[in-house]
Structure 1
């Protein structure tokens, strides 16, 4: 009995530490730049020391396609004409201190792929997409 309790406490402590070491892992609410309204929920996860994110929920207006596809994606991109729901839009970011760099993010609204970096600021996730010297930064909110 004591051994089982020890194992349980050790597992709980280890899982808590694992989560604390990867603070961007989890669900994040994206906010539309133009309307300032929630746009989607993206789940960020870790795979082989890299970070990825996929769309798990969308907040669409009645005028929008209820099941959109990425028809503006580049035809050579495997996501071309695929459903946005469930799509992996963040790929290959790697942790570098307090930032996550070297990844790329797809904006399914316009089909463009950007280099990106992510970091936490005041409990929010900042995601900056780059094209050459130009960039745009979004703030994503933790979603429970």
Structure 2
């Protein structure tokens, strides 16, 4: 009887430890799959995966592209410049360099955002909203008084 109790206790301990480890490695609210919503059309244009780079800053890569009703699906970054010109959208890094604001852990600063439709690169900052389910991204070109606001939805 004592042997069965020890074995049962060991199994429970292992299960709780595994669940705790999984929860602690997935505690970063920004890491994961997000659906992008275009601020101009209101349509979801792509799905991205946010992860961290080797410098512990956030990056977002496109993993799926949708078409806008009435328009052809964009497959490449035809308006991009330099090495990104005509690169496939799937696999493209569209957001990079974001880091946690040391004054507010719900805000992220110092990033850049590539708009694959226009090829324009914007300065970007972001804020988690709705208990981490939405990411509000504000981007603008350097020196511009106004910019774009978009929302990504966590899947």
TM-score w.r.t. the length of structure 2 is 0.79
Matched, 1:102 2:110: yes
More strand by share: 1
- 1:121 and 2:129 aligned: yes
Q: Is the 8 A contact 2:39 2:151 kept in 1?
A: no
Out of 35, 52, 59, which is 2:59 matched to?
Answer: 52
Q: CA deviation at 1:94?
A: 1.0
User: Per-residue CA shift, 1:104-130, capped at 9, x if unaligned?
Assistant: 110000001111111111121111112
**Which residue is equivalent to 2:3?**
none
- Any stretches of 5+ residues in structure 1 without a counterpart? none
In structure 1, the partner of 2:88 is 83
Residues 117 and 128, structure 1, Cα contact 8 Å, conserved in 2: yes
Aligned length: 139
> 1:36-75 CA deviation, whole Å, 9 max, x = no partner?
12111111112231111011111114631x4621121122
- Residue ranges of structure 2 left out of the alignment (5+ in a row): 1-6
Contact 2:39 2:149 in 1 (8 A): no
- In structure 1, C-alpha distance between the alignment counterparts of 2:74 and 2:53, rounded to whole Å: 27
**What is the TM-score of this pair, normalised by structure 1?**
0.84
Cα distance, 1:26 vs. partner?
0.9
Runs of 4+ that moved beyond 6 A: none
Q: Which has the greater radius of gyration?
A: 2
CA-based RMSD of the aligned residues comes to: 1.9
Give SS of 2:136's match. strand
